[in-house]
Amino acid sequence: MRYLLFGLTMALLPSVALASDDVPASLIAKLKADLEKPVTVIMLRAQNEQHAKVTQAEIDTLDKKWRAEREQQEQPLIAQLMGNPMTSYVTRLAARSDGVIAEVFVMDDKGLNVGQSSVTSDYWQGDEAKYQKTYAVGPDAVFVDEIEVDKATGRRRRQVSFTLTDPATGEKLGAAAIDINLDEIKRQ
């Protein structure tokens, strides 16, 4: 409910994007503002620095390790990411959304996960539209993907992705992808 009410306030501000009929631009603006906080800037800057010289072969190795860990008892890479401040922040963000946010994750400047509300199927998003149509495009880029229907629940979801910037400088630092529960937006 809080996200829908915020839309009235956000309508007075310039919108980030005209998203779609089912995902209001005001919601995207609210999510972007919620994610461009100090914790995000700090975590993205740290991981971008850590991975500044990482090669594509090393990215592929990390991604394979992540996928393998999903099937194993020992999960050091997954545990490290799931225990960091960015993951805690986005998990709370999703929990406070009254069911509107189904999943959220933040990627660095290479498309590697920095924080996420649940374990993703892979670690590297750089080969997917959620990264290629946002971070790779520019600081104001927003990508709204097609509607998907969860086979188990029948709920309609749409992933909204956008570039994350440092609010103080405008420098692009990474990207975020948020799965929006369209049925919950409609219900509220």
| Number of Cα atoms under 13 Å in the Cβ half of residue 89 | 19
Q: Is the pLDDT of residue 3 over 60?
A: no
Three-class DSSP category at 48: helix
Three-class DSSP category at 174: strand
Give the per-residue pLDDT at 20. 62
pLDDT above 70 coverage of the chain, percent: 89
**Predicted confidence (pLDDT) per residue in 88-103, tens digit:** 999 999 999 999 999 9
**Predicted confidence (pLDDT) per residue in 13-49, tens digit:** 333 344 566 898 999 999 999 999 999 999 999 999 9
Q: Is the pLDDT of residue 109 over 50?
A: yes
Q: Domains of the chain: which residue ranges?
A: 2-187
- In CATH, the number for domain 2-187 is 3.30.450.20
